[in-house]
Amino acid sequence: MIATLDAPAWAPTTTLRSGAGYWWTGFTWMLRWHLSSLRMWLMLLVMVQALIGVGYVLGFALFFDEIPPAAALWVSTGVPVLNLILLGMLLGPQLVAGVKEQGGYDFVQALPVPLTAAAAAWYVVTLVGGLPGMVITLVAAELRYHPPFAISPLVVPVTLLIVFTGTMIGYALAHAITKPMTTQLITQALVFVAMGFAPILFPAEQMPGWLASVNEWLPLGPMATIMRDTLTDGLIADAGRAYLVVTVWGVACGWLAVRALGRRR
Amino acid sequence: MPVAVTTDWSFRADDVTKVYKGGVRANDGLTLRIEPGEVYGLLGPNGAGKSTLVKQVIGLLAPTSGTLAIGPHDLVAHPEVARQLCSYLPQAQMPIDAFRASEAIELTGRIRGGDRATVRARTDALMDALGIEEWRTAMGLKLSGGVRRLVGFAMAVVVPGRLVILDEPTNDIDPLRRRLLWRQVRALSEQGCAVMLVTHNVLEAEKAVDRLAVVLDGRIVAEGTPSSLKAEDRGRLRLQVMLVPGSDTPESPPWLHSAVRVGNSLVTALDEADAGHGITWAQGLVDAGTAEEYALGASTLEDAYIRLTGHVSDDDEA
């Protein structure tokens, strides 16, 4: 290898980057890339999330003359999950679809960032966009209903897990499907079907038995269960299985997302 | 003159074939080699398979068969290595609406592994050299197409890889800044980058490249230096006739070597000795009301391109 002394610092190198330093560089700078490119959108997102959350919380009381305390508690603990699911599974994929439509997708895909670092950066972006809305929703619920919250520190890892699983499901879909329009249709259908038929705002016992059993294996119901488990005392008898189901979905979809991200056609 | 070229870091495509699902054969046994320090043009009409090749190089598509390599690295087996070794400017506009111009360039440089000081200095130098320093803090959304394109170019080359792929880099850029861009392309090659220039603008490529390949239907139909490709047209002239819109293509006299019509423009080649015939024929078309005007000139690389592909290059400005 011959290089002259006056080669500038930016001259192309023959050294390949690898290891933890390479991963970390890719993660941090990809994260900054997303935060910069979405700065306007993230502010809007937080506002929309807060509106949806507060709207659900307040709107639910209108079903009743006097909302029963049990219903108030279910709604107060379910709507934050709704926030997080909407975020990861609906808004995330639509954002990726938007970038694909703009045409810059190839450029970003061709940047030297490890696939897991790219997925991790996207996950953190989703957290940044989603957490304020969730907190505002909880505050609104507290002010309106004063439900008997018993918030355990576990709420932090549980929120991280729910957002991770939701984000990875959406991320896998967004990257696996070529056509942006198709992504939007499928994620919208998925979210609304899943929300109508998943026990998020109400107890699973109120569903037909078969549908309740199906939901034990799907991610959305168990997400609500583990959130409730950390926000209340005694509302959930045994959440062990729900933790397991959400974790397995998260790991599986994380793996699928990274594969879809690196897939060559 | 000292040239910072490392040895044996050429880019090689060997017998690359890509058949899409559905049977479209976009690349059909493409073989080419780009040396470090070389600017190599990939010319061909839309749909010739140029972008398909590029997407395989950067790991967005997998070849059906064949190999792609830079130096000792197999790009097909290791797309993550390809992403480090290649920098890429896509034909589409960059997604930089919400970025300040300098920010977009610096972030790309940091993602590509450049350190803070190097990236900052290089960003400033590039913006100055491309004549876009006054838009340093302007948001991408507010930039004109040409400035945006130049910012995209700077993003692609701020921390260049061994292979720099530029897909129609001068689209939307004014002639003055095009020249500035070509100077930066040359600076890249002087530092040992292999540059792959993908374009259908033949006249521009003629000035910018060291060697080029003409691609048609997924195959290379000619390869060489611009002057070697023009050799067959030596002693020939180009006669371009602007036909009246809607008129039929006139019958070609036997001494015309080729005649390709695009829109209302008929591009033909003839021997210098037949120049007189050509003028008489073209003037006859004007007099008969079939043509509006005509021009006789020296043959260019474009004429070789027309001969090889049957297409006129899409962009007339250069």
Q: Is residue A205 in a domain?
A: yes
In 3D space, the residue among B186, B197, B112, B162 whose CA is nearest the CA of residue B6 turns out to be B162
Distance set, CA B293 to CA B263, B268, B285 (Å): 14, 14, 9
What residues of chain B lie within 8 A of the CB of A104, using their CB? 90, 92-96
Give residue A222's pLDDT.
93
Give residue B4's pLDDT.
53
Distance, in Å, from the CA atom of A71 to the CA atom of B14, rounded to the nearest integer, reads: 67
Residue of B nearest to A38 (CA): B98
Structure tokens at B292: 């509006």
What is the mean pLDDT, run by run of 10 residues, along chain B of 318 residues?
A: 63 96 93 96 92 94 96 94 96 90 97 96 97 96 95 97 96 94 96 94 89 95 91 85 90 86 86 92 93 90 84 53
Q: Do the Cβ atoms of A29 and A63 come closer than 8 Å?
A: no
Rg (CA), chain A: 21
SS3 at position B167: strand
- B6 contacts A14? CB cut-off 8 A: yes
Hey, which residues 30-69 in chain B have their CB within 8 Å of chain A? 55, 58-62
Q: Is residue A2 in a domain?
A: no
Distance, in Å, from the CA atom of B17 to the CA atom of B50, rounded to the nearest integer, reads: 12
Q: Is residue A135 in a domain?
A: yes
Give residue A1's pLDDT.
47
Nearest to B95 among A17, A102, A112 (CB): A102
- B94 contacts A4? CB cut-off 8 A: no
Give the containing element (helix H, strand E) for A218: none
Give residue B317's pLDDT.
34
Distance set, CA B179 to CA B55, B129, B169, B226 (Å): 27, 10, 12, 19
Residue of A nearest to B21 (CA): A265
Domain that residue A105 falls in? 36-264
Burial class (CB in 10 A: 0-12, 13-18, 19+), B298: exposed
Give residue B7's pLDDT.
56
Distance, in Å, from the CA atom of A97 to the CA atom of A94, rounded to the nearest integer, reads: 5
Chain B: nearest CA to A121, how far in angstroms? 12
What residues of chain A lie within 8 A of the CB of B96, using their CB? 37, 104
Nearest to A33 among B59, B83, B111 (CB): B111
Q: Is residue A83 in a domain?
A: yes
What residues of chain B lie within 8 A of the CB of A17, using their CB? 84, 113
Q: Is residue A247 in a domain?
A: yes
Give residue B303's pLDDT.
84
Amino acid in position B116:
R
Q: Is residue A30 in a domain?
A: no
Distance, in Å, from the CA atom of B11 to the CA atom of B68, rounded to the nearest integer, reads: 8
Give residue B315's pLDDT.
44
Q: Is residue A170 in a domain?
A: yes
Nearest to B83 among A14, A102, A111 (CB): A111
The string of DSSP letters for B88-109 reads: EE-SSPPS-TTSBHHHHHHHHH
Q: Is residue A199 in a domain?
A: yes
The string of DSSP letters for B265-288 reads: EEEEEEEGGGHHHHHHHHHHHHHT
Number of structural domains chain A divides into = 1
Nearest to B162 among A3, A12, A114 (CB): A12
- Which pLDDT tens digits describe chain A residue by residue (265 residues)? 454 557 899 999 888 999 999 999 999 999 999 999 888 888 888 898 899 999 989 998 888 888 898 889 999 999 999 888 888 887 778 777 777 777 678 899 899 999 999 999 989 998 998 899 999 999 999 999 999 999 999 999 999 999 999 999 888 888 888 787 888 888 888 777 777 888 998 888 889 999 999 999 999 999 999 999 999 987 888 889 999 999 999 999 999 988 988 888 7
- A37 contacts B96? CB cut-off 8 A: yes
- B111 contacts A112? CB cut-off 8 A: yes
> On the CB side of B314, how many CA atoms lie within 13 Å of its CA?
9
- A264 contacts B61? CB cut-off 8 A: yes
- A1 contacts B7? CB cut-off 8 A: yes
Give residue B288's pLDDT.
92
Nearest to B7 among A2, A26, A41 (CB): A2
- A108 contacts B95? CB cut-off 8 A: yes
Distance, in Å, from the CA atom of B125 to the CA atom of B56, rounded to the nearest integer, reads: 31
What residues of chain B lie within 8 A of the CB of A16, using their CB? 73, 81, 84-85
Nearest to A14 among B9, B58, B61 (CB): B9
Give residue A237's pLDDT.
81
Chain A contact residues (CB < 8 Å to B): 1-4, 6-12, 14, 16-17, 22, 25-26, 29-30, 32-33, 36-41, 99, 102-115, 262, 264-265
Phi and psi of A210, rounded to 5°? -65, -40
- A6 contacts B108? CB cut-off 8 A: no
Nearest to A11 among B4, B99, B156 (CB): B4
